[in-house]
Amino acid sequence: MRIQIYPLLILALVTATATAQVSLKKKAVVYIGSAANTSAPATVDAKKVRAATPEWQKIQNTGIDPDSARGKQLITKMNQRIRKAVKEVADAESRDMVTRNRDMKDDRGRQVVDLTGLVVSEIAR
- What is the amino acid identity at position 22? V
Return the pLDDT at 119: 98
- The Cα 5–Cα 2 span in angstroms is 9
Q: What is the pLDDT of residues 64-88, one digit of tens each?
A: 999 999 999 999 999 999 999 999 9
Is it the case that residue 121 has pLDDT exceeding 90? Answer: yes
Contact between residue 31 and residue 83 where contact means Cβ atoms under 8 Å apart: yes
CATH 3.30.200.20 fits 5-124, yes or no: no
Q: What is the pLDDT of residues 38-70, one digit of tens each?
A: 888 999 999 999 999 999 999 999 999 999 999
Reported as a pLDDT band with limits 50, 70 and 90, residue 107 is low
Q: 104-106 and 22-24: which strand pairing?
A: antiparallel
Is it the case that residue 112 has pLDDT exceeding 90? Answer: no
